[in-house]
Structure 1
Amino acid sequence: MIRWVAAVIGYMFYRFPGAVIGFLIGSLFDNMGSKKTGRGFQEVFKQQRVDSVSPADFELNLLSLASLVIKADGTVNQSELDYVRQYFVQAYGRERANATFNVFNNVIKKRQVSAQNICNLLRQRTRYESRLQILHFLFSIANADGHVTEPEVKEINRIGGFLGVQFRDFESIKAMFFKNPDSAYKILEIEKTATTAEIKKAYREMVKKYHPDKLQHMDEAYQKGAQEKFNKVQEAYEQLQKERGF
């Protein structure tokens, strides 16, 4: 309950931004529990006991995963940082996004981020479609500077494994960011030897899987990402239609 008390106190002093910051910091203390347990900030994401991920926790978790991808190739690219900030502003508004970044920079960033702990939490308490969108978001970060490096792919693959994302789904989303002769097939999760009937069937299945309506429960930025995935599926199908002449 510390999060709510902190939110009220924050609102009294700094109105909405103060309430958001208070709630975020209070969430951390709620999740830490008693000092007698010997847990530190690095266990925050591992020990949460709520039935679902709160908005504040989800935002910090997502930002933490983003930081791992940004640092994966050993350099911190400004275009990738700008992409993340713009994404958060679009999803949550400027004040709330700034509050999340402040908490991350002042608390979480100073501690070791555990991708496995974060992903275990998200895997248990988010829908599979939401986790696919998280993966798409991470690839979009890596691609913000114009190309996705091999270390970034490896890091996102590692995160995808922790999130419980199936390999075919990982390869499908990955193919959306690489232009290869077989990209269209990978996006539709089929082999190059697939028949016309198999291509049509795969397209119908992918439309169901990536339809933006599946993310109506999430913020606008995530719905926009879902639309981007959906468009890539359509483009892949149209490309194969032209190549195969059906």
Structure 2
Amino acid sequence: MLKWVCAIIGFFFRGFFGALAGYLIGSLLDLVLMPKRNQRSFGGFFQNSQGVLPGDFELNLLSLASLVIKADGNVSQKELDYVRSYFVKAYGKERANATFKTFNEVIKKRQISASNICQYLKPRLRYEIRLQIIHFLFNIAQADGHITTNEINKIHQISSYFSLSQRDFESIKAMFIKSADKAYKILEVDKNASDAEIKKAYRRMVKKYHPDKLQNIDEAYQKGAKEKFNQVQEAYEQLQKERGF
């Protein structure tokens, strides 16, 4: 990516401050010259004018993914393959390969801090995008067929750093972890909730997870939104049958 090339050139001529200036200039060039397809991909992500640049978002997302992959002490090839496939679908093969190359050459060699990443992204990303990231991380953990306690704890930590509510986290978690009260957890209600409360919760969840909220971003993210929306529908239909309303 141009920002790294410009950073190296800047460092050669002006040292650290030259590298910093080169990085910023290169980032702007990356944004201007990037394919229009990827510009549309990020158009619906940001909630203010201080949005992260596309390349930075990809690297931060990949960094969070790496933390989940390493959470249980076993780097699964299936999880790695899922992440690469997801990035290729979301950004295209060329851009995905560039992101992985930069990550391996630069980011991977440093200590990755979930707290710092989330602190940077949180004020710049809309709430529903942060929810989608948590859904993406659970999909990674599930890619090898088993979600471990350590992976759940790591995703929960990231969710907390993103300031997502506990109910939202438990709702997404229930979409991946089987339990007797799964349908209730997905709808974010207690088992003793009335039929009226369940209907109200369903309407609230439909509004929160409707795919139209993510219609301006790439197909890979829209797919995740549809998955959550379908789980909400299925949970509600299950309770309808069980309760007969």
Place the TM-score, normalised by the shorter chain, in its bin.
0.7 to 0.9
For 1:99, the equivalent position in structure 2 comes to: 98
Mapped to 2, the partners of 1:158 and 1:120 lie a distance apart of 12
Written as runs of structure 1 = structure 2, the 5 A alignment for 1:96-135 is 96-135=95-134
Contact 1:24–1:57, Cα closer than 8 Å, also in 2: no
For 1:35, the equivalent position in structure 2 comes to: 16
RMSD: 2.2
Contact 1:210–1:230, Cα closer than 8 Å, also in 2: yes
Deviation per residue, 1:69-90 (Å, 9 max, x gap): 0000000001100000000000
| Amino acid in the other structure paired with 1:157 | H
Name the count of aligned residue pairs.
213
Shift in Å, 1:24: 5.8
For 1:55, the equivalent position in structure 2 comes to: 54
Mapped to 1, the partners of 2:66 and 2:8 lie a distance apart of 18
Mapped to 1, the partners of 2:199 and 2:244 lie a distance apart of 13
Any runs of at least 4 consecutive aligned residues in structure 1 with deviations exceeding 6 A, and if so which? 27-30
Corresponding position: 1:22 with 2:6: no
**Length-normalised TM-score, structure 1:** 0.82
For 1:69, the equivalent position in structure 2 comes to: 68
Higher relative contact order, chain-length normalized (CA < 8 Å, sep 6+)? 2
**Length-normalised TM-score, structure 2:** 0.82
Structure 2 unaligned regions, length at least 5: 21-48
Shift in Å, 1:51: 1.5
For 1:189, the equivalent position in structure 2 comes to: 188
Change beyond 3 A, Cα 1:105–1:201: same
For 1:173, the equivalent position in structure 2 comes to: 172
For 1:231, the equivalent position in structure 2 comes to: 230
Change beyond 3 A, Cα 1:136–1:147: same
Mapped to 2, the partners of 1:170 and 1:163 lie a distance apart of 11
Mapped to 2, the partners of 1:210 and 1:199 lie a distance apart of 16
Mapped to 2, the partners of 1:239 and 1:28 lie a distance apart of 58
For 1:87, the equivalent position in structure 2 comes to: 86
Contact 1:172–1:189, Cα closer than 8 Å, also in 2: yes
Shift in Å, 1:216: 1.9
Change beyond 3 A, Cα 1:217–1:113: same
Secondary structure of 1:145's counterpart equals coil
Mapped to 2, the partners of 1:61 and 1:206 lie a distance apart of 28
Deviation per residue, 1:191-230 (Å, 9 max, x gap): 0001111111100000000011111232211111000000
Deviation per residue, 1:99-126 (Å, 9 max, x gap): 0000000100011111111101110100
| Amino acid in the other structure paired with 2:16 | K
Secondary structure of 1:110's counterpart equals coil
Mapped to 1, the partners of 2:218 and 2:101 lie a distance apart of 21
Mapped to 2, the partners of 1:82 and 1:66 lie a distance apart of 12
For 1:17, the equivalent position in structure 2 comes to: none
Contact 1:73–1:152, Cα closer than 8 Å, also in 2: yes
Contact 1:23–1:56, Cα closer than 8 Å, also in 2: no
Shift in Å, 1:178: 1.1
Mapped to 1, the partners of 2:210 and 2:242 lie a distance apart of 25
Change beyond 3 A, Cα 1:25–1:191: farther
Contact 1:25–1:103, Cα closer than 8 Å, also in 2: no
For 2:141, the equivalent position in structure 1 comes to: 142
Structure 1 unaligned regions, length at least 5: 1-20, 40-49
Change beyond 3 A, Cα 1:242–1:24: farther
Mapped to 2, the partners of 1:27 and 1:64 lie a distance apart of 21
| Amino acid in the other structure paired with 1:79 | K
Shift in Å, 1:56: 0.5
